[in-house]
Structure 1
Amino acid sequence: MLDRISSLFSKEKSPLANIKSATQWCKNLDMVDPATRSAKVHGIVSDFVAGNQAVTFDSLQALMLIDEHVQEAFDAVRYQYVSNPRMSKEIEQKLWKDIVTYSHDMVDAYQRFVQAESNEALQKQFAPLMPVVLARSLRYLSIQAKWHYFRFERVPPKIWTAAHQLYRLSEIGGFDSNPFSLYPAISEEISSCADEYIQMLMLNTLANNNLSVRQIDMVDFWLEKWSKLIQISRKYMEDRHHFCVNLQESQGAQKINPELMGEPYRYWGLNDLVNQVQEILGRLMTGASYASLDLGPDARGPAVSELLKHLDVFWTMSMRNSQVKRSERTKVTKAADIIHGLDRICGFIKEDNDKFMRQGREAKDQIDYDEIMDMRLYGFVSSRTKQKSAAASNPYVVNKKQTDWQTWAIDNESNGGFGAILRFSENEWIRPNVLLGMRLSNSENWQIGVLRRIARLNDDEISAGIQILTSTPVMVGMHSEQNDRIENMTVTELGFTGGLELPNVKTALYVPHQIDGKSVNTLIMHSADYGLDKIYQIRARDKRFSVSLGLVLEKGVDWIWVAVNVLRQEN
């Protein structure tokens, strides 16, 4: 401790005195493990920040040298956190604090030189190094923000304030987009102040997506390259821009609306970024390896493909909804039953449809399709089908268990949907653009909605926004003789066909919809069943149609919503 205090007053003993002292100190640093190396650098940086030493060109060069030399060790410490999701709470807390405080103190150390640049005597000396100083500071701010996302925490406003100020300084200096290597001794990767800033902003757009630590880290790695596809603009262009940021506010990316215009705002679009994600997905579908796509050493397996699909869906919908204003919300206290997964939703919707069809009829006068299928398959009617038919004969009997759905507390409602409060520990599956079935009571039909917004309120509480697509969905059976998706179907699933006696019948949801004030026919189906060249035979209740698939209205990770053109109605 006395040595550290003495070093504050002894320029010769400080590694930050000049390049020579820093170089010699770094040689001795290589003899210890990565965690110790990071801790030692953190110690001298903390001393520098706390001390009153005058900043000089020599000390800036020394700081930049040591910062570059410790990068591999600091990367190893961060990787230890990301790659070890089952570490004890005590280890997690220590690692989290070490990484965040290290990044914070590095920003403060560089900030001393940024602030000193107002001194005309130092300005000319610091100017050549200032682009790298600002870009490195932005990267350390981004690391702090990312570690808050790992805990589903809101990024402290002062981090955004600092990031906006540093980027604005790069604009004033006229070097915001100038390319250079951030740590040339470690990597030849080219960056800029704008690249570091947009990477931080784009990761912020995913902050409420309920991604895991590994997923957030992987996306951040990709954004290091993809950020170069995005250009920040001072002038808003309606057909190109989807997000904005206010350099005078302490928050990150925002959706654009007419009120967010003027000098403090900067704008950017997602077209090139989404095209890049879709190109990668297309190459994966044609058999390209993960290694050939430069997605990182840990990028392999179907989980990576699913994450890319999620990014494609989320950012595509962000483009479409960038100027959509939310309806006014009304505070309520209600509860709703929630189901998810297209196949399960189809099963519950079919029950609703059957109730409607059977009301007013006597069960003994009906010809049950499921019983016919049992007789053809087995020669007798199974007990499972008998139980199902008995329950369906009374439209007010629910033959599902309470455990087949979850209950969410509805906190608010608007013209287009609902806001819910739920526990994360009971709903770890939630993601934006997940398809949901929802009903407010047992006496009501299931409605179809999409999970649009997620915000973490605390460790185990989440706020979710649900948009209702329709309150009157219809389950339909679909068959195409071209390029059928091969799948094994159970007897229960055959009951979903609505009467189609076909070898491979798929299920979908008919959703009435309006486009530009005109009513259109639409289907929500499995993504694997979509194809522009496909003609489907559709059975909806007691009607049959031949339809072709048209405009894609929206897509999720495993579902797609398309308009359909009715070619003919069949007898």
Structure 2
Amino acid sequence: MLGFFSNKTVHPLADSREAKRILAEIANPGRGSLSAVEDAGAWLESLAADESFKLPQRIDLVLRIDEAAVTHARRLGRDYPASVGLSRVQESKQWQCCHGYWEQLVAAYLDCIARHQAAEKKDADAVRSQLPMIHGRLINALAAQLKWKQFRYGPVDPGFWQSLGTVYLAAVEAKTAQKPLQLYPGVNEGTIEAEYLKVLVFHAASMDKLQPLEIEIAERLINYFLPFFSLIREVRPENVYWIDAAKPLPPTRLAKLPEVTPTLRFFNGTRAVEAVAKTIEQIRNEGRVPPGINLGAQYEVDQVIPVLEHLALCWAPKPPMRSNARHRMSSQLKVVNGLAAVHRRLSGRAGGEEGLETWVIDDVSLGGFGAQATISRQDWIRIGALVGMQPEGGDNWLIGIVRRYVRTGPNQGSIGIETLSKTPHAVFADAGGLQTEALLLDIPEVGEYARMALPANALEDKVALLFPLGDKNSRLHPRETIESGADFVVANFFVQSYS
């Protein structure tokens, strides 16, 4: 479709009847969303490459393509987390398509703004009334682009924050930042400033500690709690975050007062934290998410409350305190991914370098590690992944869970791992006649509890696990589930016997 429009060829979108047909085809609700978004991105690309369009027509077409594709694009953003952990090819294709679409849309709006600035006064004045919509839609597209980047934990280029701040300041200068604006049909009115603030609050929510589904839920919750935030210019004691919209920097917690400039802004989430606490209490009392909160889909209470608690921590006046002091160091760490691979390694069934990756430890604490990793082709690193770890120079293995993940480059990542066990054992347990490969995380003591990690589908209520450990036999009964991941579940077990 791309690249065959020569200067002498009339672009299909230049014909009003053909453009209407193309846009209706994209917007068709019965069409596959991935295909629709792919087509929309392709038309944006071809439009950018064609210089024959006058500025008013170009702006009109970009706005209409955006509007035609927006429902499909939102649906893909909602559904993407479910594809994580399925076919890597399928998941990667969906991410590339959707991230690429928002990237194309951002570029299209930036191009419209640049052409407007370079236009003759008469041409510029003819489309000036559309600038608020362009500014608002551009910030909305940048927000979506950031979300898709966070689905893969970055990296976020400084230029992103520069573009975001520049368009916000343009709206401020035009005195349109706080005027009511309906970005899309069927959507409540908002303001350009609110769209900008939404992106800042999203970043302040530490998405590098959430899984993709939790990121989707968090974004929806941010929309709901946004009225409890405000963006101000004044230096006040209650300020928690600051950003200079003229600089290529993300919002930052206010440790000390930055250089005061006309483009400096502050925001805090104190009122939002109070609202979140009330919402959590209401959910626990009613056993459901309040009808007024639109999450885009039905989620279990147990999926929503942890995200609310996470948001409250991020927005609190004081940042979450580390429970253990960190010590800087640099050494290698051997890593294997997933319960099955860890079990093979601990049981001696995996030899040599099978499944091994080498990370570099940045810091260590009683609770875990910070490490740098070269991202492999498998690109398996996810929040909540269970890993086995062997520090350099040791022969013991540790069990941990990835709690933080930030891509620092195309093939580099910064990872935080919580240590679950420093003395794990691989066991072959009898679960009601079925052999189950499990990891014992604690040494059993009769009458006490011990944690075990099992395959996700292997935990059954009231079915005891029997297994030998050394010269003793153990019988453990399942109690509450502590944590679950894509391929595992960690649960407490009551130790009935160990002799």
TM-score range normalised by the length of the shorter chain: 0.5 to 0.7
Could you give the per-residue CA deviations for residues 205-224 of structure 1, whole angstroms, max 9, x where no partner exists? 23454211111011112222
Query: 1:251 is matched with which residue: 249, 252, 263?
Result: 249
Query: 1-side partners of 2:125 and 2:264: how far apart?
Result: 30
1:171 Cα offset (Å): 0.9
CA distance in 2, matches of 1:266, 1:77: 33
Alignment of 1:38-187 (within 5 A): 38-118=37-117, 119=119, 120-184=121-185, 187=186
Sort the Cα spacing of 1:2 and 1:115 in 2 relative to 1 into closer, same or farther, 3 A: closer
Distance 1:213 1:2 in 2: 32
1:492 aligns with 448
Matched residue type, 2:68: H
5+ residue gaps in structure 2? 334-358, 386-401, 419-445, 450-499
- Give 1:306's aligned amino acid: P
User: Residue in 1 aligned with 2:36?
Assistant: 37
Displacement after TM superposition at 1:291 (Å): 4.8
Residue 257 to residue 57, structure 1, CA distance change in 2 (3 Å): same
AA aligned to 2:50 is G
Alignment deviations for residues 321-378 of structure 1 (CA, whole Å, 9 cap, x no partner): 49x9xxx998445899xxxxxxxxxxxxxxxxxxxxxxxxxxxxxxxxxxxxxxxxxx
Distance change (3 Å), C-alpha of 1:291 and 1:26? same
Q: 1:259, 1:243 → 2: CA distance? A: 10
Give 3-state SS (helix, strand or coil) of 1:299's partner. Answer: coil
Q: TM-score, normalised by structure 1?
A: 0.57
Whole-Å separation in 1 of the counterparts to 2:294 and 2:192: 23
Following superposition, the deviation at residue 242 of structure 1 comes to: 0.4
Contact 1:17 1:62 in 2 (8 A): no
Task: State the AA in 2 paired with 1:72.
Answer: T
Give the AA of the match of 2:156: V
Distance 2:363 2:32 in 1: 53
TM-score after normalising by structure 2: 0.64
Give the whole-Å Cα distance in 2 for the aligned partners of 1:2 and 1:54.
17
Q: How does 1:320-359 map to 2 (within 5 A)?
A: 320-321=318-319, 331-333=328-330
| C-alpha distance in structure 1 between counterparts of 2:116 and 2:191, whole Å | 20
Residue 199 of structure 2 aligns with which residue? 200
CA contact (8 A) 2:24 2:68 kept: no
- Give the corresponding residue for 1:282: 281
Q: Report SS of the residue matched to 1:234.
A: coil
CA gap 1:420/1:101 in 2 versus in 1, 3 angstroms: closer
Partners of 1:104 and 1:454 lie apart in 2 by 23
Would you say the 8 A contact 1:457–1:463 is kept in 2? no
Cα gap change, 1:70 to 1:126, in 2 (>3 Å):
same
Contact 2:326 2:364 in 1 (8 A): yes
1:542 is aligned to none
Tell me what 1:26 maps to: 23
Equivalent residues of 1:208, 1:455 under 8 A apart: no
- How far is the alpha carbon of 1:25 from its aligned partner? 3.0
Q: 1:362-511 maps to which residues of 2 (within 5 A)? A: 411-412=362-363, 420-421=370-371, 429=384, 455=406, 462-464=414-416, 491-492=447-448
Q: 1:167 to 1:9 in 2, by over 3 A?
A: farther
Residues 203-250 of structure 1 deviation map (CA, whole Å, 9 limit, x = unaligned): 2123454211111011112222322332211222122x1001122332
Q: Distance in 1 between matches of 2:14 and 2:228?
A: 37
**Counterpart Cα distance in 2 of 1:113 and 1:335:** 49
Percent identity at matched positions? 15
Unmatched runs of 5 consecutive residues or more in structure 1: 337-407, 431-450, 467-489, 494-571
Structure 1 residues 258 and 312: alpha-carbon distance in aligned structure 2, compared to 1, 3 A threshold: closer
SS in structure 2 at match of 1:191: coil
Equivalent residues of 2:287, 2:301 under 8 A apart:
no
- The change in CA–CA distance for 1:117 and 1:225 in structure 2 (over 3 A counts) is farther
AA partner of residue 110 (structure 1): Y
Cα distance in 2 for residues equivalent to 1:41 and 1:161? 26
Q: Is the 8 A contact 1:167 1:176 kept in 2?
A: yes
Q: 1:96, 1:268 → 2: CA distance?
A: 31
Q: Distance in 2 between matches of 1:38 and 1:99?
A: 7
**CA shift at 1:282, angstroms?**
1.8
Matched, 1:305 2:305: yes
Largest Rg, 1 or 2: 1
Q: What is the RMSD of the two structures over their aligned residues, measured on CA atoms?
A: 4.2
CA contact under 8 A between 1:149 and 1:207: conserved in structure 2? Answer: no
Matched-pair contact (CA < 8 Å) for 2:383–2:404: no
- Partners of 1:134 and 1:2 lie apart in 2 by 27
Runs of 4+ in 1 over 4 A off after TM superposition: 1-4, 8-11, 328-331, 333-336, 416-419, 422-430, 451-461, 463-466
Q: CA deviation at 1:68?
A: 0.9
Instruction: Verify the 8 A CA contact 2:406 2:415 in the aligned structure 1.
Output: yes
- Look up the equivalent residue of 1:165 and give its one-letter code: T
Q: Which amino acid counterpart does residue 301 of structure 1 have in structure 2?
A: V
Q: Secondary structure at the match of 2:43?
A: helix
Distance 1:199 1:143 in 2: 11
Per-residue deviation at 1:9?
Answer: 4.4
1:373 aligns to what? none
Q: How far did residue 24 of structure 1 move?
A: 3.7
- Matched residues, number: 376
Distance 2:200 2:2 in 1: 43
| Deviation of the 1:83 alpha carbon | 2.5
Partner residue in 2 for 1:221: 220
C-alpha contact 2:37 2:98 (8 A) present in aligned 1: no
Match of 1:190 in 2: 189
On the 8 A contact 2:149/2:156 being kept in 1, the answer is: yes
Alpha-carbon distance change, 426 to 153 in structure 1, aligned in 2, over 3 angstroms: closer
What is the CA deviation profile of residues 404-428 of structure 1, one whole-angstrom value per residue up to 9, with x for unaligned ones?
xxxx9864589x9997337898995
State the partner residue of 1:238. 237
Q: Could you tell me how far apart the structure 1 residues matched to 2:282 and 2:327 are?
A: 46
Once the two structures are TM-superposed, the CA of residue 94 in structure 1 deviates from its matched residue by 1.7
Kept in 1, the 8 Å contact 2:55–2:115? The answer is no
Q: Distance in 1 between matches of 2:327 and 2:448?
A: 41
SS at match of 2:51: coil
Per-residue CA distance 1:84-137 (angstroms, 9 max, x = gap):
223322222221111112111111212222123333223322222211111111
Query: Aligned partner of 1:201: which letter?
Result: L
Q: Distance in 2 between matches of 1:205 and 1:288?
A: 28
